[in-house]
A = this chain, B = another copy of it.
Amino acid sequence: MEFQSCFPVWETLTDAQRTCILSGLAERTVGKGTVLHNGSADCTGLLVVKSGQLRAYILSDEGREITIYRLFDRDICLLSASCIMRSMQFDVTVEAEKDTVFWMIPAEAYQRIMKESAPLANYTNEIMAARFSEVMWLMEQVMWKSMDKRVAAFLLEESAIEGGDRLNITHETIANHLGTHREVITRMLRYLQSEGMVRLSRGAVELLDEKKLTALRDA
Protein backbone atom coordinates (compact mmCIF):
# COMPACT_ATOMS: atom_id res chain seq x y z
CA MET A 1 0.00 0.00 0.00
CA GLU A 2 1.34 3.39 -0.97
CA PHE A 3 0.88 6.64 0.90
CA GLN A 4 -0.86 8.25 -2.08
CA SER A 5 -3.66 5.69 -2.01
CA CYS A 6 -4.46 6.61 1.62
CA PHE A 7 -4.69 10.26 0.86
CA PRO A 8 -7.87 10.90 -1.15
CA VAL A 9 -7.13 14.49 -2.19
CA TRP A 10 -3.71 13.61 -3.63
CA GLU A 11 -4.98 13.99 -7.19
CA THR A 12 -6.09 17.57 -6.54
CA LEU A 13 -2.67 18.78 -5.37
CA THR A 14 -0.14 20.55 -7.59
CA ASP A 15 3.26 19.01 -8.32
CA ALA A 16 4.90 21.50 -5.96
CA GLN A 17 2.48 20.60 -3.17
CA ARG A 18 3.04 16.88 -3.69
CA THR A 19 6.78 17.32 -3.60
CA CYS A 20 6.47 19.35 -0.41
CA ILE A 21 4.50 16.58 1.31
CA LEU A 22 6.64 13.70 0.02
CA SER A 23 9.91 15.35 0.96
CA GLY A 24 8.84 15.65 4.60
CA LEU A 25 7.05 12.31 4.80
CA ALA A 26 8.46 9.67 7.15
CA GLU A 27 7.32 6.08 7.56
CA ARG A 28 7.63 4.73 11.08
CA THR A 29 6.97 1.45 12.85
CA VAL A 30 6.11 1.37 16.54
CA GLY A 31 5.30 -1.40 18.98
CA LYS A 32 2.04 -1.82 20.88
CA GLY A 33 1.88 0.59 23.79
CA THR A 34 4.07 3.31 22.28
CA VAL A 35 2.81 6.83 22.97
CA LEU A 36 2.99 8.73 19.67
CA HIS A 37 1.66 12.03 20.82
CA ASN A 38 1.29 13.46 24.25
CA GLY A 39 -1.18 16.24 24.93
CA SER A 40 1.26 18.71 26.38
CA ALA A 41 4.15 17.97 23.98
CA ASP A 42 4.75 19.95 20.82
CA CYS A 43 3.02 19.54 17.48
CA THR A 44 3.89 16.06 16.26
CA GLY A 45 2.39 16.18 12.76
CA LEU A 46 -0.43 14.33 11.02
CA LEU A 47 -0.39 10.57 11.35
CA VAL A 48 -1.73 8.38 8.54
CA VAL A 49 -2.17 4.76 9.62
CA LYS A 50 -0.74 2.24 7.15
CA SER A 51 -1.50 -0.77 9.31
CA GLY A 52 -2.24 -1.34 12.98
CA GLN A 53 -4.45 0.51 15.44
CA LEU A 54 -4.18 3.77 17.36
CA ARG A 55 -6.17 5.04 20.29
CA ALA A 56 -6.76 8.69 21.20
CA TYR A 57 -7.70 9.38 24.79
CA ILE A 58 -7.87 12.09 27.39
CA LEU A 59 -6.42 11.89 30.88
CA SER A 60 -7.63 13.28 34.17
CA ASP A 61 -5.31 14.83 36.76
CA GLU A 62 -5.61 11.59 38.72
CA GLY A 63 -4.54 9.48 35.74
CA ARG A 64 -7.96 8.21 34.74
CA GLU A 65 -8.44 7.73 31.00
CA ILE A 66 -11.29 7.71 28.52
CA THR A 67 -10.93 6.65 24.88
CA ILE A 68 -12.30 9.29 22.55
CA TYR A 69 -11.73 7.41 19.31
CA ARG A 70 -9.66 4.78 17.56
CA LEU A 71 -7.91 4.86 14.22
CA PHE A 72 -7.50 1.97 11.82
CA ASP A 73 -5.89 1.41 8.41
CA ARG A 74 -6.00 4.55 6.22
CA ASP A 75 -7.34 6.74 9.02
CA ILE A 76 -5.76 10.12 9.62
CA CYS A 77 -5.01 11.60 13.02
CA LEU A 78 -5.43 15.35 13.02
CA LEU A 79 -5.29 16.00 16.74
CA SER A 80 -1.60 15.12 16.89
CA ALA A 81 -1.08 18.23 14.75
CA SER A 82 -3.36 20.56 16.65
CA CYS A 83 -1.00 23.47 15.98
CA ILE A 84 -2.26 23.59 12.39
CA MET A 85 -5.39 25.26 13.74
CA ARG A 86 -5.25 28.14 16.17
CA SER A 87 -8.64 27.30 17.67
CA MET A 88 -7.89 23.67 18.50
CA GLN A 89 -7.33 24.07 22.20
CA PHE A 90 -7.30 20.67 23.80
CA ASP A 91 -4.94 17.88 24.63
CA VAL A 92 -5.23 14.26 23.64
CA THR A 93 -2.79 11.41 23.97
CA VAL A 94 -2.33 9.05 21.02
CA GLU A 95 -1.05 5.55 21.68
CA ALA A 96 -0.45 2.47 19.51
CA GLU A 97 -2.99 -0.13 20.58
CA LYS A 98 -1.34 -2.70 18.32
CA ASP A 99 1.98 -2.77 16.50
CA THR A 100 1.49 0.01 13.99
CA VAL A 101 3.07 1.34 10.81
CA PHE A 102 2.21 4.91 9.94
CA TRP A 103 3.29 7.87 7.86
CA MET A 104 3.95 11.20 9.47
CA ILE A 105 3.26 14.41 7.56
CA PRO A 106 5.05 17.40 9.11
CA ALA A 107 2.50 19.86 10.51
CA GLU A 108 4.19 22.88 9.02
CA ALA A 109 4.10 21.59 5.42
CA TYR A 110 0.49 20.44 5.78
CA GLN A 111 -0.58 23.78 7.17
CA ARG A 112 1.13 25.72 4.40
CA ILE A 113 -0.59 23.69 1.67
CA MET A 114 -3.96 23.79 3.43
CA LYS A 115 -3.85 27.61 3.39
CA GLU A 116 -3.72 27.64 -0.42
CA SER A 117 -5.62 24.46 -1.36
CA ALA A 118 -9.40 24.49 -1.02
CA PRO A 119 -9.62 20.71 -1.60
CA LEU A 120 -7.12 19.97 1.21
CA ALA A 121 -8.84 22.44 3.55
CA ASN A 122 -12.24 20.85 2.82
CA TYR A 123 -10.79 17.38 3.29
CA THR A 124 -9.39 18.47 6.66
CA ASN A 125 -12.84 19.80 7.54
CA GLU A 126 -14.35 16.40 6.80
CA ILE A 127 -11.80 14.60 8.99
CA MET A 128 -12.42 16.99 11.85
CA ALA A 129 -16.19 16.73 11.47
CA ALA A 130 -15.89 12.94 11.64
CA ARG A 131 -13.86 13.05 14.86
CA PHE A 132 -16.15 15.72 16.30
CA SER A 133 -19.11 13.42 15.56
CA GLU A 134 -17.42 10.56 17.40
CA VAL A 135 -16.85 12.77 20.42
CA MET A 136 -20.49 13.91 20.36
CA TRP A 137 -21.58 10.27 20.20
CA LEU A 138 -19.36 9.57 23.20
CA MET A 139 -20.81 12.56 25.05
CA GLU A 140 -24.31 11.17 24.58
CA GLN A 141 -23.15 7.77 25.82
CA VAL A 142 -21.51 9.26 28.89
CA MET A 143 -24.45 11.53 29.67
CA TRP A 144 -27.46 9.35 29.01
CA LYS A 145 -26.38 5.71 28.93
CA SER A 146 -25.94 3.55 32.00
CA MET A 147 -22.65 1.71 32.42
CA ASP A 148 -24.12 -1.75 31.68
CA LYS A 149 -25.14 -0.61 28.20
CA ARG A 150 -21.74 1.05 27.63
CA VAL A 151 -19.88 -2.12 28.67
CA ALA A 152 -22.08 -4.22 26.35
CA ALA A 153 -21.41 -1.78 23.49
CA PHE A 154 -17.67 -1.84 24.17
CA LEU A 155 -17.49 -5.67 24.24
CA LEU A 156 -19.40 -5.93 20.96
CA GLU A 157 -17.21 -3.29 19.29
CA GLU A 158 -14.04 -4.98 20.55
CA SER A 159 -15.23 -8.36 19.31
CA ALA A 160 -15.93 -6.87 15.87
CA ILE A 161 -12.44 -5.31 15.74
CA GLU A 162 -10.70 -8.50 16.86
CA GLY A 163 -12.91 -10.79 14.80
CA GLY A 164 -13.54 -13.25 17.62
CA ASP A 165 -15.58 -13.90 20.75
CA ARG A 166 -12.64 -14.25 23.11
CA LEU A 167 -11.14 -10.92 24.14
CA ASN A 168 -7.78 -10.85 25.87
CA ILE A 169 -8.40 -7.75 27.89
CA THR A 170 -8.22 -6.82 31.56
CA HIS A 171 -10.91 -5.10 33.60
CA GLU A 172 -8.45 -2.25 34.11
CA THR A 173 -8.12 -1.73 30.33
CA ILE A 174 -11.88 -1.69 29.85
CA ALA A 175 -12.14 0.88 32.66
CA ASN A 176 -9.55 3.05 30.89
CA HIS A 177 -11.51 2.95 27.67
CA LEU A 178 -14.76 3.91 29.34
CA GLY A 179 -13.44 6.45 31.80
CA THR A 180 -14.40 4.66 34.98
CA HIS A 181 -12.84 2.62 37.82
CA ARG A 182 -11.79 -1.02 37.59
CA GLU A 183 -14.15 -1.98 40.43
CA VAL A 184 -17.13 -0.66 38.46
CA ILE A 185 -16.17 -2.78 35.44
CA THR A 186 -15.60 -5.91 37.54
CA ARG A 187 -19.03 -5.55 39.13
CA MET A 188 -20.64 -5.01 35.71
CA LEU A 189 -18.89 -7.98 34.10
CA ARG A 190 -19.95 -10.23 36.96
CA TYR A 191 -23.52 -9.12 36.41
CA LEU A 192 -23.23 -9.88 32.66
CA GLN A 193 -21.76 -13.29 33.55
CA SER A 194 -24.65 -14.05 35.91
CA GLU A 195 -27.02 -13.27 33.04
CA GLY A 196 -25.15 -15.71 30.76
CA MET A 197 -23.88 -13.04 28.37
CA VAL A 198 -20.15 -13.48 29.03
CA ARG A 199 -17.72 -15.89 30.71
CA LEU A 200 -14.85 -14.42 32.71
CA SER A 201 -11.41 -15.92 33.14
CA ARG A 202 -7.97 -14.57 34.04
CA GLY A 203 -7.14 -11.72 31.61
CA ALA A 204 -9.98 -12.61 29.25
CA VAL A 205 -13.67 -12.01 28.60
CA GLU A 206 -15.55 -14.43 26.36
CA LEU A 207 -18.77 -13.32 24.68
CA LEU A 208 -21.37 -16.07 25.01
CA ASP A 209 -24.56 -14.42 23.79
CA GLU A 210 -24.15 -11.60 21.29
CA LYS A 211 -27.89 -11.33 20.75
CA LYS A 212 -28.55 -10.65 24.42
CA LEU A 213 -25.62 -8.19 24.60
CA THR A 214 -26.95 -6.36 21.55
CA ALA A 215 -30.42 -6.20 23.10
CA LEU A 216 -28.92 -4.74 26.28
CA ARG A 217 -26.86 -2.18 24.32
CA ASP A 218 -29.86 -1.02 22.29
CA ALA A 219 -32.43 -1.13 25.10
Taking the closest CB of chain B, its distance from the CB of A5, in whole angstroms, is 20
Contacts of A143 in B (CB 8 A): 58, 60, 64, 66, 142, 179
User: Residue A132 contacts which of B86, B114, B132, B179 (CB distance < 8 angstroms)?
Assistant: B132
Q: Say how many copies of this protein the assembly contains.
A: 2
Contacts of A138 in B (CB 8 A): 139
Q: Does A88 count as interface, using CB distance less than 8 angstroms? A: yes
Taking the closest CB of chain B, its distance from the CB of A149, in whole angstroms, is 12
A159 to B118, CA, bound (A): 41
Contacts of A86 in B (CB 8 A): 126, 129
Most buried by B among A125, A130, A131: A125
Known contacts A126-B87, A129-B85; is A142 also within 8 Å of B144 by CB? no
Q: Does A200 count as interface, using CB distance less than 8 angstroms? A: no
